[in-house]
Amino acid sequence: MNTVEPVIVWFRQDLRLADNPALRAAFDTGKPIVPVFILDDDSAGEWKMGAASRWWLHQSLESLDSALDGRLRLFRGDAAASLRELARETGATHVFWNRCYEPWRIARDKRIKDQLRDAGLCVNSDNGSLLFEPHTITKSDGTPYKVFTPFYRKGCLSEEHAPQPPLSKPKQMELATPAVGVTLAELELMPSTHWYEEIAQQWQPGEDGAWQRLQAFLENGIRGYKQGRNRPDQNHCSRLSPHLHFGEISPRQVWQETEALANQSGIADDVDHFRSELAWREFSYYLLYHFPQLPEDNLQAKFDRFPWREDDAALARWQRGDTGVPIVDAGMRQLWRTGYMHNRVRMVVASFLIKNLMLHWHHGQMWFWDTLVDADLANNSAGWQWVAGTGADAAPYFRIFNPVLQGKKFDPDGDYVRRYVPEIAELPNRYLHSPWTAPDAVLAEANITLGKNYPEPIVDLKESRERALAAFKDLGTAA
């Protein structure tokens, strides 16, 4: 190893070389760099990564290690102990990392920073995950925003908070290679069965894959985005969410790449709307930072009295995509097969679980956590509380998505449903989103026997809607 004392770069949710502030700061010291990743399930507790995320992480670490010429050191277990061991082994004097904003990580990182400094090491942390630091944007009275639009328009878009340009990739880094660490296989991220094969066909994890996805979206998806993003049968979603979550690309890079398109004729509204979706991601992190109870507790405490049902059989049917409601089943099957679900459909399936089945949003939150490749504590928690009507700037509880109308409006030709629910593919469009309304002769011609090769609806949509509304109304009259 080089006789010059090295510096440690702790990679976390920033698995890239370009626009990586921690890596750039380490590079600027002129010292050899020890790049390290630590799988710290010990500290994560119930929020350790789900199966789909672990599959993605395996591929992403493999890609990052290749970009670092095989020099990425891997550890598993308590992060503080791993960093202390690595510092002793290498003689490192500095540790650099980019900040994370999950409550458990904030608490852990503060402890680690104190411990390392007590041991005589210098510690430097930067923002490599967000456009704006959550603590820097507040209302005029110093309190956090609870409504998205003023947060975005008055906070994020003010001159004071203009996103900084992304950093270039350091060139000719000198990388140190300590002997300590484990192999990628020893992290045990890959599942024992091959349920992920179709997921693997859908995605290219890693920094190169993230950049290719962004360019493909800007070339073929962003024009018409404002309206087209609601259509699961069309190709207007960026599908950047897992790349952003794992930090294979930064929001600053995405923001900058849209800059040249912002004033183009016929596309400015699409770019503005796409940027506002990036800002929704920021808002989710902002809420998690200021309200760390977001993943567990209703932000509107009145919902603590809501009479949620417990029905394991109904939950299992929802998870399998076996509810008898085609757009719901299509979404849940897309999730299982690809590790992803279109955002419009996410809202529909969430509304169905919470309001038609009256099951607690925690059930959906945990299922998404395990099955989404873009499972993200801030986005997942804020999204479920938004649909449930329990969070900040949430959809009111009485806004109940009608899955039949949603299907007809946003999948009018039935391409999305037919792809994921092929057993009803022969139905005419008129009945595709509500097979139970089709005449017997139409069902027979489409080779469908409800209750046999496609289920009857698990609930009556009208009756279950009225039941949910009545329960919500009772919240206002309870003592």
Catalytic residue of the set 55, 203, 384, 386: 384
For the segment(s) 7-128, the CATH number from 3.40.50.620, 3.60.15.10, 3.40.630.30, 3.40.50.300 is: 3.40.50.620
Query: Which tens digits make up the pLDDT trace of 127-140?
Result: 999 999 999 888 88
Query: Which tens digits make up the pLDDT trace of 349-366?
Result: 999 999 999 999 999 999
Q: What is the mean pLDDT of the chain?
A: 94
For tokens 């509204």, the residue is 269
Catalytic residue of the set 62, 257, 277, 423: 277
Query: Which tens digits make up the pLDDT trace of 86-96?
Result: 999 999 999 99
Is 336 tagged catalytic?
no
Catalytic residue of the set 55, 97, 336, 361: 361
Question: What's the fold here for domain 301-477?
Answer: DNA Cyclobutane Dipyrimidine Photolyase, subunit A; domain 3 (1.10.579)
> Could you tell me the pTM of the whole model?
0.95
Is 423 tagged catalytic?
no
Is 384 tagged catalytic?
yes
Is 361 tagged catalytic?
yes
Average pLDDT estimate for 113-134: 94
CATH classification code of 130-164+207-290: 1.25.40.80
Is 255 tagged catalytic?
no
Catalytic residue of the set 5, 195, 257, 280: 280
Query: Which tens digits make up the pLDDT trace of 437-475?
Result: 999 999 999 999 999 999 999 999 999 999 999 999 888
Is 367 tagged catalytic?
no
Q: What's CA 292's distance to the chain center, in Å?
A: 17
Q: pLDDT band at 4, cuts 50/70/90?
A: confident
Domain ranges of the chain: 7-128, 130-164+207-290, 301-477
Query: Which tens digits make up the pLDDT trace of 381-414?
Result: 999 999 999 988 767 777 899 999 999 999 999 9
